[in-house]
Amino acid sequence: MEWSLLFNAFIGILAILNPIGNMPIFLEHVENETPSVQRAVALLMALSIFILLLIFFLFGNRILTMFGITLPAFRLAGSIMILLIGLRMLQGKSKFEQHGIETAAVSGNTFDQARNSLSHILVPVAMPLFMGPGTITTVILYAEKSNTFLMSLMMILVLFLCACIVALVLVSSHYIFDKIGRNGTQIVIRFMGMVLCAIAMQFLIDGVAQLLPGVLDTAFIHTGVK
């Protein structure tokens, strides 16, 4: 069991999902809802994110094959994409600068109202805010490194854990935002950006190692790359 790979995947996917950094944008989109509806929307949002993560983890490679894209090419392109996202986060820039949209009030129970609200904000909040190109790239790259059934199962558990953390953050978003404030949020965004930049460089090194086997020092190549 490659525990280091699982830990790296957990940190990388959680960093690019960036629940703390995306929390203010989520709050903007649900600010007109009651607290109970906001919590229900947060749970449905996290479930949607997990389903999307699972789809790209299981079928991402087939999608690449369908378009005739090689794994080293996708790894290199993905590293550049993740690096750009990390640099943007280091600069403290949000992915979206527009204000939240208002959701119309509907009759029914909390779940019905949450489902209606989710239908309005699934795009752009769930995708591409959380599940953007960088997230999809990261999931596919880690899926390629999971070459056994047990490793794939553990990686799916990592995806589920990341989705659970997203749910926890979104459910607690009002409390967290009040506690850490905008300055604290910017600190978290910049730290996660630095982590993503480092992960992007590792993906770049691994991609070059696949294209030029035996050229790079194996001490700096992730063990998942053969």
Give the Cβ contact number of residue 76 at 10 Å: 18
What is the rounded average pLDDT of the residues 14-20? 87
pLDDT at 97: 42
- Mean of pLDDT values over 132-148: 84
Over residues 31-42, mean pLDDT = 83
Please say whether the beta carbons of 188 and 89 come within 8 A: no
Split at pLDDT 50, 70, 90, the class of 225 is very low
Question: Which pLDDT score, from 0 to 100, does residue 151 have?
Answer: 93
One-letter amino acid at 96 equals F
pLDDT digit string, tens, across residues 201-215: 887 887 777 777 766
Over residues 48-88, the pLDDT tens digits come to 999 999 999 999 878 878 888 776 777 788 788 778 877 87
- Report the C-alpha gap between 38 and 44 in whole angstroms: 10
Which band of pLDDT confidence, cut at 50, 70 and 90, is reported for residue 95? Answer: very low
Instruction: Report helix, strand or coil for 108.
Output: coil
What pTM, to 2 d.p., does this model score?
Answer: 0.68
What values do phi and psi take at 201, rounded to 5? -65, -35
Which value, to the nearest 10 degrees, does the dihedral of the CA atoms of residues 110, 17, 173, 113 take? -10
**Count of beta carbons in the 10 Å neighbourhood of residue 175:** 9
Residue 46 has pLDDT above 50, yes or no: yes
The predicted pLDDT at position 91 comes to 79
pLDDT given at position 20: 82
* C-alpha dist (Å) from residue 116 to 37, 46, 103: 10, 15, 9
Predicted pLDDT of residue 124 = 62
